[in-house]
Structure 1
Amino acid sequence: MTSPASDRLYDRNFWLAFVSQTCFVSANTLMAHYSRWIEFLGGDLSQVGMIMGVGALLGLLLRPWMAQWINRLGARVMWACGLVFFSLSALTNLFLESIDFEIFLVRSGLVMGSAIVFASGLTYISQTSPESRKTEAIGIFGIGGFLGMLTGPFVGDLFLANRLRDNFELLFLVAAIANALPLVLLYFLRPTVNEGSKSSLRLADFILITRRYWPGSILLVDFAFGVCMTAPFVFVASFIDRESLDMPGVSEIGLFFLFYAGIAIIVRLLSRKLPDRIGSAKVLICGVLLMSVGMFCFSIVHQGNPWLISVPAILTGAGHSLMFHTMTSLTLQSFPIAVRGTGSAIALMMLDLGTFLGAPALGFIGETLGFSILFATIGGFNLFSGFVYAWFTMRKKRRNIHESVH
């Protein structure tokens, strides 16, 4: 059984998990082109937002039980279940013919599969890493995801050079088959301390644990981050197509994710010790500012200067790099190791809720007011969440100082 007893982090077990994450995200980010699949089937931007938003609903509703299953079966076992679920959902796209009720179910399956994988991977790393290096572990583990982002969207663009049904079917087949390697790698991971435990699966226990270890205002940032993720993973592909951003011989969405994930990897590596030195909260606020400025910068990208898409890509990628692992660590810090599955679930539930509520509303905004207003709305709300979190954090700090003096 694995427990973070020593201070060693980068062992064989960590790198197996890292490679597994990289392979899955490569497959998952092929779905960055899903908006194009919806439009191929006859949908418009409002329907893109609706389908993507409703797709997050299933993951949101089932996360409490997902957390309890992670606590009971162990993160490694649930991680494997998520990979299988995602692959089956990707294959189900082959049977879709139009925009009907079925596409909502299929998209929900994809989101649910990835939700299980990300929650399980996050829980596994938080349970098996040294407690003093938890933020660093989550951050470096996340680089595996950014490496996957470098390949998935670009490969997807190669498949969709011609927007024919055969090309889309190949995209979904590759997304399903690509999960074979991470599934094999999981077999060689050491089990966690609670794998095969008899923990409860009742919703009441999830609620009880959440109330007992309530993380506070950081959950608003988790929610805002979910809204932010609609930009690269829901609307950027449509933005490129609608604005006619054409660079001969260049994959525009591949270029976007090259800058987005490339700068994210560099920033994550350079700042991996920063949360321990200045505190996770300060690093998070820097990330919030970069993410928001990046969203505002989409307004400078037009048909005449498509290369400027690199500017919002760099800024939002850097913001993502600083935000995700710090906000996750801050959410998890109040939960004991044995129930980190619940902590991971509540963090990702808020992220899902941001996507579920944000995507349809933003799709409507984009269809009626344009993409500049869509991205500016995301940036403004993200700034608001950072301000609220900073205010509550400073108030709590002042109260603790006052109590210690008296």
Structure 2
Amino acid sequence: MAQWIDRVGAKRMWGLGFVIFSAASLANLGLDGLGPAIYLLRCSILLGAALVFASSLCYVSQIAPPSRRTEAIGLLGVGGFLGMLVGPLLGDLFLGTGQRSREDFAALFIAAAVANLVPLLLLTKLRSPEMDGPVRSVRLTDFIRTVWRYWPGAILLVDFAFGVAMTCPLIFLASFIDQAPLQMGNLSMLGVFFTCYAGWAIALRIGMRRWPEVYGPRPVLIGGMLFMALAMFAFLLVDASRPWLLLLPAVLGGTGHALTFHTMTSLTLDPFPPQYRGTASALALMMLDMGTFVGAPVLGKLGQVAGFNSLFAAVGVTCLGATWIYARCSR
């Protein structure tokens, strides 16, 4: 994928990602049971999402002036936070809380397809970045050679740690809420968390969009990772008698996310020349996904054996450790 972004261009691959996601969503309408097809379509949806994510990062990094690249990536990320806000609400709207029918899921898949076709049309209005240099190979050996040549260093460890940290809100939080259990009237505690997390992160990302340019991406990143660690430790204060304290890790985590993702991504992309930004974007996302892929089963086992407090504490320590190593190596 990384090599094809460099070869074909970020804008075209971005559009291809939207097409794949929309087609796979609509193809779900033809399913009539569990089987290989459902796994193929699930993989296709993930492929489409990966193409959109990596290509959009690459495109923005190629279009934005170098001094404002981090800000541009941050504003792009606001769209992700908006999806985090609106997605659960739309899911509840289409699927509801009662008995779910085939028609409910059909409406959800159609809405997902339309939601990707609209930005595809808007994408045609964007200019294509001008890239110099020869046509690039799509061989794996060339990907490895490019990464080795422009190796970004210890920032990849931060990418990995951030992926580990994201397992908490995206994978383990729902189980934590159910097991505690956390209740505040008829409110969905998961919805409350993500509304606070994403809403606060959007406000900070927009309000502090010039911080990386003014103070530099490195100190902003370090501060963001410290907030991510604090968010993990703040989960230790939450229990059934104090469900409202779930807002604390939501605010701290939203702050950490708002300060971290765009700065660590920009710092990962920085050593690579513009014509290899597809490779750089894929590398950054690969390390983040690896943190989630490796962290999820390990933390899940830890949570089973020692409880959620140990799980959250382990993630907090991971964030602190990665931040300390990066701070030492990047001085």
Give yes or no for TM over 0.5.
yes
The code of the aligned residue for 1:162 comes to G
C-alpha displacement of 1:168: 5.0
In the aligned structure 2, how far is the partner of 1:138 from the partner of 1:345?
A: 14
Q: CA RMSD in A?
A: 2.4
In the aligned structure 1, how far is the partner of 2:233 from the partner of 2:105?
A: 32
Q: Does 1:206 align with 2:133?
A: no
C-alpha displacement of 1:246: 2.8
* Aligned counterpart, 2:21: 86
**2:226 counterpart (289, 294, 298):** 289
Judging changes above 3 Å, is the alpha-carbon distance between structure 1 residues 304 and 105 closer, same or farther for their aligned structure 2 residues?
farther
Q: Does 1:116 align with 2:51?
A: yes
Q: Does 1:174 align with 2:121?
A: no
In the aligned structure 2, how far is the partner of 1:216 from the partner of 1:96?
A: 48
Q: Which runs of 5+ in 2 are unaligned?
A: none
C-alpha displacement of 1:87: 3.1
**2:75 counterpart (125, 133, 140):** 140
Pairing 1:188-207 to 2, within 5 Å after superposition: 188-194=125-131, 198-207=135-144
Judging changes above 3 Å, is the alpha-carbon distance between structure 1 residues 154 and 110 closer, same or farther for their aligned structure 2 residues?
same
**1:275 counterpart (212, 229, 236):** 212
- Does the Cα contact within 8 Å between 1:72 and 1:195 map onto a contact in 2? no
In the aligned structure 1, how far is the partner of 2:298 from the partner of 2:85?
A: 29
C-alpha displacement of 1:226: 1.1
Q: Which moved more, 1:240-249 or 1:113-122?
A: 240-249
Pairing 1:173-252 to 2, within 5 Å after superposition: 173-194=110-131, 198-252=135-189
In the aligned structure 1, how far is the partner of 2:33 from the partner of 2:316?
A: 35
**2:84 counterpart (149, 158, 170):** 149
In the aligned structure 1, how far is the partner of 2:57 from the partner of 2:130?
A: 15
In the aligned structure 2, how far is the partner of 1:119 from the partner of 1:272?
A: 21
C-alpha displacement of 1:238: 2.9
Q: Deviations over 1:136-157 (max 9, x none)?
A: 1111221222122221122223
In the aligned structure 1, how far is the partner of 2:6 from the partner of 2:279?
A: 8
* Aligned counterpart, 2:242: 305
C-alpha displacement of 1:92: 5.8
In the aligned structure 2, how far is the partner of 1:241 from the partner of 1:90?
A: 30
In the aligned structure 1, how far is the partner of 2:201 from the partner of 2:111?
A: 25
- Does the Cα contact within 8 Å between 1:71 and 1:194 map onto a contact in 2? no
Q: Which moved more, 1:235-244 or 1:137-146?
A: 235-244
Give the secondary structure class of the aligned counterpart of 2:330.
helix
C-alpha displacement of 1:82: 1.3
In the aligned structure 2, how far is the partner of 1:197 from the partner of 1:103?
A: 40
**1:161 counterpart (94, 97, 103):** 97
* Aligned counterpart, 1:59: none
Q: Does 1:315 align with 2:252?
A: yes
Q: Which moved more, 1:77-86 or 1:365-374?
A: 365-374
In the aligned structure 1, how far is the partner of 2:133 from the partner of 2:123?
A: 16
Judging changes above 3 Å, is the alpha-carbon distance between structure 1 residues 160 and 91 closer, same or farther for their aligned structure 2 residues?
farther
C-alpha displacement of 1:162: 2.5
C-alpha displacement of 1:363: 2.2
Pairing 1:94-109 to 2, within 5 Å after superposition: 95=31, 105-109=40-44
Judging changes above 3 Å, is the alpha-carbon distance between structure 1 residues 198 and 163 closer, same or farther for their aligned structure 2 residues?
farther
* Aligned counterpart, 1:399: none
C-alpha displacement of 1:165: 5.3
Judging changes above 3 Å, is the alpha-carbon distance between structure 1 residues 377 and 248 closer, same or farther for their aligned structure 2 residues?
same
In the aligned structure 2, how far is the partner of 1:182 from the partner of 1:197?
A: 30
Pairing 1:299-378 to 2, within 5 Å after superposition: 299-378=236-315
The code of the aligned residue for 1:340 comes to R
**1:130 counterpart (56, 65, 74):** 65
- Does the Cα contact within 8 Å between 1:75 and 1:195 map onto a contact in 2? no
C-alpha displacement of 1:282: 0.7
C-alpha displacement of 1:385: 0.6
C-alpha displacement of 1:107: 4.3
The code of the aligned residue for 2:289 comes to D
C-alpha displacement of 1:203: 1.3
In the aligned structure 2, how far is the partner of 1:101 from the partner of 1:134?
A: 42
Q: Deviations over 1:280-324 (max 9, x none)?
A: 111111001100110111222223332222111111111011111
C-alpha displacement of 1:102: 6.7
- Does the Cα contact within 8 Å between 1:67 and 1:342 map onto a contact in 2? yes
Q: Does 1:389 align with 2:312?
A: no
In the aligned structure 2, how far is the partner of 1:234 from the partner of 1:275?
A: 30
TM-score of the aligned structures, taking structure 2 as reference length: 0.90
Give the secondary structure class of the aligned counterpart of 1:179.
helix
Q: Deviations over 1:94-135 (max 9, x none)?
A: 64856x877665544333221111110001101011112111
In the aligned structure 2, how far is the partner of 1:367 from the partner of 1:169?
A: 36
The code of the aligned residue for 2:47 comes to M
TM-score of the aligned structures, taking structure 1 as reference length: 0.74
C-alpha displacement of 1:330: 0.7
- Does the Cα contact within 8 Å between 2:22 and 2:117 map onto a contact in 1? no
In the aligned structure 2, how far is the partner of 1:255 from the partner of 1:195?
A: 48
Judging changes above 3 Å, is the alpha-carbon distance between structure 1 residues 301 and 157 closer, same or farther for their aligned structure 2 residues?
farther
Identical columns (%): 52
Judging changes above 3 Å, is the alpha-carbon distance between structure 1 residues 106 and 378 closer, same or farther for their aligned structure 2 residues?
farther
Judging changes above 3 Å, is the alpha-carbon distance between structure 1 residues 93 and 269 closer, same or farther for their aligned structure 2 residues?
same
Give the secondary structure class of the aligned counterpart of 1:178.
helix
In the aligned structure 2, how far is the partner of 1:175 from the partner of 1:276?
A: 36
